[in-house]
Amino acid sequence: RVRAFGMEEEDEGQFETWLRSEVSKMPLFSAFESAFDKAVLAVLAWRRRFSGNPALWKRIMKRSKVLKEVAESIPVLHQVMGYCADVSVTADKKVTIVDLCSGKGYLSMLLSEILPRDKVERIVLVDKAWPRQDQTEASKHQINWEHLDDP
């Protein structure tokens, strides 16, 4: 059985308390408190979604890694949330977001949890480590996209 940080606690409230405590210490917290709150809710949604796959959760949820990724994403999250709140869309014309140098895709994962689905058509991740479009699975030196599949 794979043990993964954030899944040991039976109570999601314990994990949420720890996560909120950690993000409240981040330098930009007071300037972007609303974006941090939405990021915490997104991470909690991931925890629920991936609870049946502890190996996957362990791969994306390392304490320092996820905190670093949230901290780096906050100013962008704030800007994109504001843009999506203000933009007018139609059924055939929605927002497409391109995440350049996406790495594993933490920013895109956060955006996909936070942004209104009725305004966003797609989020495209671009990184040289992603497999090519014609590949059916990632090679060992490439990023595995399993954490981006919508179960």
Could you read off the pLDDT of 7-51 as tens digits, one per residue? 665 678 888 999 999 999 999 999 999 999 999 999 999 988 888
Q: Is the pTM of this model over 0.85?
A: no
State pLDDT tens for residues 52-64.
Answer: 888 888 888 887 8
Task: Give per-residue pLDDT as tens, 79-124.
Answer: 999 999 999 988 889 999 999 888 888 999 999 999 999 999 999 8
Got the DSSP string for the chain?
----TTTS-S-HHHHHHHHHHHHHTSTTTTTSHHHHHHHHHHHHHHHHHTTT-HHHHHHH--HHHHHHHHHHHHHHHHHHHHHHHH---BTTB-EEEEEET-TT-HHHHHHHHHS-TTTEEEEEEE-TTSPPTT-SS--TTS---GGGS--
